[in-house]
Structure 1
């Protein structure tokens, strides 16, 4: 099968998205040109724009696919208590080798690179970050935190800070962030009813 046949294949959209994820994560959104993306996805630029009206829309779809359910591997675990789920958000992802530095959160990266607040990618990044704080808040409420909204925002900020600092320094910062999170969580749960603070 030649390149032209592959371009017409039903898998073109998936190849475009897989290639965009690899390139956007590896070299940035701004550093990835549509010529390079279409060449590496083995499709024409016309095909890219048939599936995605613009690069901005492609970026937004790439972000939507990255974590559509907002950290289900942490917040949807039924084998952990609410307090343990809050702390599990600061565990190294199981798919990341210990020697590999955690890459910058793609939503933070997109927000940094995209200046227009009305850009679909920028809106997607904002919505995602709000959903992370909301999931922290709901879990904090289940854990019995006196002020779950405050704790949720604190933990969301801490997680974002750890991601950015890890990328900037090239060293893992999640263990330190988790130690700070433990203090924040325990302070928030202090004085809560035992039944509320339990699983």
Structure 2
């Protein structure tokens, strides 16, 4: 039987160090950014030793990538997997963000890291591609004449609203939702059949 892990002060911590590290990363990366968060601070918040942190993640880069992979692994299921909404309503529901929504962590990581080959940048690229694909798929279900184009337009609008909200410190998603409605109305013929 293995001994329970001990924290930096020698106290028994039990299992769950990996989850505490990821929880601390989520909090600190969101609140102060990736570059401003050192491993010492992260370990203190997670209540683990640096040795334990590096047993779970071989580098901070790996930790950042895992943090992003776990942030929204199913790509907005609260929007795209809803069966109570029509495809058109799901497209517009993507813009129904609460006023307290922070800057998209994928955008924040890609901008802050500056390296397109960084593991987190690759995660961000994959996520943004997946969002556009889900929007395009939903646009196709709604009957859009060019679902890929509409998906890309809506993805760009989502990212723009996220950044603008953060930079101006004011809500931009209602305006983006109004623009999205116009884009959807122009792309989906009035007589488009909604699949069962």
Bucket of the pairwise TM-score, normalised by the shorter protein: over 0.9
- 1:76-115 map, 5 Å: 76-93=81-98, 98=99, 100=100, 102-115=101-114
1:24 alignment partner, one of 19, 22, 29: 29
Cα RMSD, aligned residues only: 1.6
Return the alpha-carbon distance in structure 1 between the equivalents of residues 152 and 193 of structure 2.
24
- On the 8 A contact 1:137/1:149 being kept in 2, the answer is yes
- SS of residue paired to 2:108: helix
Instruction: Provide TM-score, normalisation by structure 2.
Output: 0.92
CA distance in 1, matches of 2:25, 2:97: 24
Counterpart secondary structure, 2:58: coil
Q: CA contact under 8 A between 2:115 and 2:121: conserved in structure 1?
A: yes
> Gapped runs of 5+ residues in structure 1?
none
Deviation digits for residues 107-143 of structure 1 (CA, Å, limit 9, x no counterpart): 0000001122111111000000000000000000000
| Corresponding residue of 1:166 | 165
CA distance, structure 2, for counterparts of residue 152 and residue 22 of structure 1: 31
Instruction: Quote the offset at 1:190 in angstroms.
Output: 2.7
Q: Which residue of 2 aligns with 1:194?
A: 192
Q: Which residue in 2 is equivalent to 1:54? A: 59
Indicate the larger mover: 69-78 or 107-116: 107-116
Give yes or no for the alignment of 1:70 onto 2:75: yes
Q: Is contact 1:6–1:42 with CA below 8 Å preserved after alignment?
A: no
Instruction: Give the total of aligned pairs.
Output: 190
> Residue 87 of structure 1: CA displacement?
0.2
Q: Cα offset for 1:53? A: 0.6
Distance 2:169 2:142 in 1: 33
Q: Which residue of 1 aligns with 2:11?
A: 5
Gaps of 5+ in 2: 1-5
Contact preservation (8 Å) 1:6, 1:12: no
After TM superposition, give the deviation of residue 5 of structure 1 in Å. 3.3
